[in-house]
Structure 1
Amino acid sequence: MAMTETQTEAVPKTKEPGKFITILRLLWADKVATTAAIFVLIVIGCAILGPILLDGVATKANLRGRNAPPFDLSKGFLMILGGDQLGRPLLARIIVASGNTIAVATGAVVASMIVGSSLGLIAGYSRGRLGQVIPRLADVIMSFPSLLLAVIVLYMLAPSVGNIVLVLAITRIPIYLRTTRAEVLEIRERMFVQAAQVMGASTGRIIFRHIMPMILPTLLTIATLDFAFVMLAESSLSFLGIGIQPPEITWGLMVAQGRPYLTSAWWLSFWPGLAIILTTLSLNLLSNWMRVALDPTQRWRLEIGGKKNG
């Protein structure tokens, strides 16, 4: 008996990896998602550091370099993508413009997710009149095309960063409201929620302690996908001339400014347009990975892939 206990105690306990390590392993199992994540991190780094390091270079005109062609390193590395109509380096302007583009998209997504999910939690958990009134608010907003509503509002208001964030956030609220409400309607009938109610748990504790962690992965997946949509919407508004105005820079505004030169200097619109496409594509790929990684019924695919790669 003593020998058995000694042998049992001698067996080393395997330490399970933390959540962060597990997420990295799941991400590494999908090489496409890993590439997309690296690109998104590069864009975020440019958005944070670009305006600090290259703001002066991106706004300094040099008429000798007007519409300079790309891949000509004789004028310096920053001119590798060419120069714009005032001779400003396109690489520096794209890096600086990423700050405004990402800031507007982040503000709109975060604001719409907080407001929409909060209203969805109230509408889904409430069994009274609020559960019927709040969804009608989403129906009213969704009755107008989101981009058309943004165009109308920004035409009447000044096209500032705050107004753009506000308008884009309002148009995206119904997505989070309806998703959260549908999730809560299903979760509130589960046994663990009913057990918490019987034990006398408060409504706030049930919502934030038991229900919110269940729907948060879905909201994060939608937010990642919605980030790409909002970024495209902001670029469209800037392209139409009712978004962020010069001297501020966004990728959509750069595409619009290069439109008159498409036949003679195609690179003025091509490079910022390519930045929009690659960022949107990367966010969509990350959203697909998150949908699989956060779903326990599908996560085994990534776990098997991670073991093979390991």
Structure 2
Amino acid sequence: MSDTRTPATSVKAETPEPGKARKMLQLLLADKTATIAAIFLIVIIACAILGPLLLDQLATRQNLRGRNAPPFDLARGFFWILGGDQLGRPLLARIIVAAGNTMAVATGAVIASMTIGSALGLVAGYSRGKLGDIVPRIADVIMSFPSLLLAVIVLYMLEPSVSNIVIVLAITRIPVYLRTTRAEVLEVRERMFVQAAIVMGASHLRIIFRHILPVILPTLLTIATLDFAFVMLAESSLSFLGIGIQPPEITWGLMVSQGRPYLTSAWWLSFWPGLVIILTTLSLNLLSNWMRVALDPTQRWRLEIGGKKNG
């Protein structure tokens, strides 16, 4: 009689494991703090995209009868729940619209600095010649100047605009990605699978993009998430000093700066945009900590065990 039992390996093969995206979503939902941070950031991104399209006129229309209107008064409408500013414009609408410029500056600076810095770091780490020694020296020169002071000097000489702020902040953050990428590549380059690819005659581009870059990418994404908060705070600081985004454009930092003269009489002018800056920065930091663990195979088990306990 033949044995009709199904092998254990067949049963296992018939049960496909969840994809990487689904697995990451499960790990995210297992961490309540990271989930709340991610939801908050999704709301901020939605405001940044839709706010300027839907609420631009409401955020810029002046109504002196509502000048410094107190918060939690819905007599003028829902968007006055946080009060009005010194020109009678609803603060909630202005915060939503300001998210567009704030996120645009931070996103542009992080993407530009990450792309350029990572490319230079890959070249510097993989190259064994003089180029590998020259590129890090460039990063050392940039890092020898305080990043915020360098941005202040450059923007003082140039016209403050979104593009100039993105360029200046991107330049100051390039060394972070360059040095991190170079250090990671120097370590990964000596691993056996990379050496095997070299022996098999793989091209340099294939080794870099197929074998090295996927290994160091999680580290770069974690740094980018954390750096996003730093760039956003830097932009807010520049706007607070008066050399960032200029009116009629608005950012959260500029709103804090404009409300500073009214702190004793209308504290809400600076409080609400400042609170949004704090919450966004905190959410980015929490999400960065979660990504550092979730993308590390040696630490991921902590999230998996936490998810099973919560389940």
In structure 2, the residue matched to 1:232 is: 233
Q: Deviations over 1:268-292 (max 9, x none)?
A: 0000000000000000000000001
In structure 1, the residue matched to 2:2 is: 2
**Paired residue secondary structure (2:71):** coil
In structure 2, how many angstroms separate the alpha carbons of the residues matched to 1:169 and 1:87? 35
**Paired residue secondary structure (2:7):** helix
Q: Give unpaired runs (5+ residues) of structure 2.
A: none
Q: Deviations over 1:202-256 (max 9, x none)?
A: 0000000000000000000000000000000000000000001000000000000
**Paired residue secondary structure (1:288):** helix
In structure 1, how many angstroms separate the alpha carbons of the residues matched to 2:261 and 2:279? 24
| Cα RMSD (Å) | 1.1
In structure 1, the residue matched to 2:163 is: 162
In structure 2, the residue matched to 1:268 is: 269
Structure 2: which amino acid aligns with 1:174? P
User: How much has 1:8 moved relative to structure 2?
Assistant: 2.8
In structure 2, how many angstroms separate the alpha carbons of the residues matched to 1:215 and 1:15? 27
In structure 2, how many angstroms separate the alpha carbons of the residues matched to 1:161 and 1:64? 32
In structure 2, the residue matched to 1:180 is: 181
In structure 2, how many angstroms separate the alpha carbons of the residues matched to 1:172 and 1:7? 57
In structure 2, how many angstroms separate the alpha carbons of the residues matched to 1:256 and 1:89? 17
In structure 2, how many angstroms separate the alpha carbons of the residues matched to 1:2 and 1:92? 74
In structure 1, the residue matched to 2:47 is: 46
In structure 2, how many angstroms separate the alpha carbons of the residues matched to 1:8 and 1:265? 73
- 1:1-310 equivalences under 5 Å are 2-3=2-3, 5-8=4-7, 11=11, 13-310=14-311
In structure 1, how many angstroms separate the alpha carbons of the residues matched to 2:73 and 2:83? 7
User: How much has 1:2 moved relative to structure 2?
Assistant: 2.1
In structure 1, how many angstroms separate the alpha carbons of the residues matched to 2:106 and 2:7? 56
Q: Give unpaired runs (5+ residues) of structure 1.
A: none
**Paired residue secondary structure (1:2):** coil
**Paired residue secondary structure (1:127):** coil
In structure 2, how many angstroms separate the alpha carbons of the residues matched to 1:242 and 1:277? 21
Structure 2: which amino acid aligns with 1:97? A
In structure 2, how many angstroms separate the alpha carbons of the residues matched to 1:217 and 1:2? 50
In structure 1, how many angstroms separate the alpha carbons of the residues matched to 2:102 and 2:184? 31
Identity of aligned residues (%): 82
Structure 2: which amino acid aligns with 1:195? A
Residues 142-151 or 187-196, more deviating:
187-196
User: How much has 1:307 moved relative to structure 2?
Assistant: 1.9
**TM-score under structure 2 length normalisation:** 0.98
Q: Deviations over 1:41-77 (max 9, x none)?
A: 0000000000000000000000000000000011111
**Paired residue secondary structure (1:128):** coil
User: How much has 1:129 moved relative to structure 2?
Assistant: 0.6
Structure 2: which amino acid aligns with 1:114? T
In structure 2, how many angstroms separate the alpha carbons of the residues matched to 1:196 and 1:52? 50
Going from structure 1 to structure 2, the CA distance change for 1:203 and 1:74 (only over 3 Å counts) comes to same
In structure 2, how many angstroms separate the alpha carbons of the residues matched to 1:270 and 1:144? 32
In structure 2, how many angstroms separate the alpha carbons of the residues matched to 1:306 and 1:38? 18
Structure 1: which amino acid aligns with 2:281? T
In structure 2, how many angstroms separate the alpha carbons of the residues matched to 1:17 and 1:306? 15
In structure 1, how many angstroms separate the alpha carbons of the residues matched to 2:51 and 2:157? 32
In structure 2, how many angstroms separate the alpha carbons of the residues matched to 1:33 and 1:11? 34
In structure 2, how many angstroms separate the alpha carbons of the residues matched to 1:6 and 1:231? 61
In structure 1, how many angstroms separate the alpha carbons of the residues matched to 2:68 and 2:161? 29
User: How much has 1:15 moved relative to structure 2?
Assistant: 1.8
Structure 2: which amino acid aligns with 1:88? R
User: How much has 1:123 moved relative to structure 2?
Assistant: 0.2
Q: Deviations over 1:109-143 (max 9, x none)?
A: 00000000000000000000100000000000000
User: How much has 1:11 moved relative to structure 2?
Assistant: 4.0
In structure 2, how many angstroms separate the alpha carbons of the residues matched to 1:72 and 1:141? 49
**Paired residue secondary structure (2:190):** coil
In structure 2, how many angstroms separate the alpha carbons of the residues matched to 1:197 and 1:67? 68
In structure 2, how many angstroms separate the alpha carbons of the residues matched to 1:88 and 1:67? 9
In structure 2, how many angstroms separate the alpha carbons of the residues matched to 1:300 and 1:241? 47
User: How much has 1:6 moved relative to structure 2?
Assistant: 4.2
Structure 1: which amino acid aligns with 2:202? A
